[in-house]
């Protein structure tokens, strides 16, 4: 563990106090919480997915429909990284805080299921997940694991066992609407919480990026933990610009053990 700066340590203390005082706290997480687990984020210079690929050409609903082979070629290495990934200390910290009653839900933009693997129970997946696949023609839904394994190991494109059509991962692609049930749940959590903890999100992708504003507009508090500033740092009670896998466990330790 690296030595944390005095500014970060002060932010950790203040954030822990806010969490202890909150009656209903929720977390909002983005790609940055999973990069310590070996899953690339989207916008980091040189390593982010969109520094290498054009999203509308690789991860769009149009590409999936017109050139599914190109989509799965792009997805194959990422799917392998997700399948091999394990929760890191930040995921575990949020799970511990939920288990002890300090946070009520985790809203995530991630599709990697690492929050659930860490032990979080109430997880709202605004962008879907890689857990399941759905047929584009007959809508047969199935567990993704064996198909993703075949994709990663052999490059086999998932096909429906019922009709032979292409199976689509149940994740939200560019040009696709958010799942209504998850989005409604995310908005409900944002509006009823008195504290939102944003962890590892650049808050650049709408509409999820607007959720912290819904909390603030109702008088709630805001903690941000991210390597880089977000558009709303100026409104945050605590904005900690540091490694989420170092900071969240330190905050949890303060909350749980003083």
Decide: residue 115, CB within 10 A, 0-12 exposed, 13-18 middle, 19+ buried. buried
Cβ-contact 12, 225 below 8 angstroms: no
| Under 8 Å between Cβ of 17 and 221 | no
> Position of tokens 């170092």?
246
Give me the catalytic one of 62, 73, 115, 127: 127
Identify whether 73 is a catalytic site residue.
Answer: no
Residues labelled as active-site residues: 127
């Amino acid at each position: 563990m690296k030595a944390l700066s005095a500014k970060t340590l002060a932010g950790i203390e203040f954030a822990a106090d806010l969490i202890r005082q909150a009656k209903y706290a929720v977390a909002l997480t983005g790609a940055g919480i999973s990069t310590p687990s070996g899953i690339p984020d989207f916008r980091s210079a040189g390593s982010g997915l969109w520094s290498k690929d054009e999203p509308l050409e690789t991860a769009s609903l149009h590409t999936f429909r017109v050139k599914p082979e190109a989509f799965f070629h792009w997805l194959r290495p990422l799917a392998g990284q997700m399948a091999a990934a394990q929760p890191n200390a930040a995921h575990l910290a949020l799970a511990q805080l939920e288990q002890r009653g300090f946070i009520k839900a985790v809203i995530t933009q991630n599709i990697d299921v690492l929050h659930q693997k860490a032990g979080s129970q109430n997880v709202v997946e605004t962008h879907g997940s890689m857990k399941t696949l759905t047929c584009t023609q007959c809508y047969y839904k199935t567990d993704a694991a064996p198909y993703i394994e075949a994709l990663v190991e052999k490059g086999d494109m998932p096909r429906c066992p019922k009709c032979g059509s292409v199976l689509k991962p149940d994740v939200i692609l560019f040009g696709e609407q958010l799942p209504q049930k998850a989005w409604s749940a995310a908005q409900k959590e944002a509006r009823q919480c008195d504290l939102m903890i944003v962890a590892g999100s650049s808050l650049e992708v709408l509409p999820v990026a607007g959720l912290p504003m819904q909390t603030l507009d109702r008088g709630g508090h805001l903690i941000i933990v991210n390597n880089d500033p977000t558009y709303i740092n100026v409104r945050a009670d605590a904005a900690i610009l540091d490694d989420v896998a170092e900071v969240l466990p330190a905050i949890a330790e303060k909350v749980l053990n003083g």
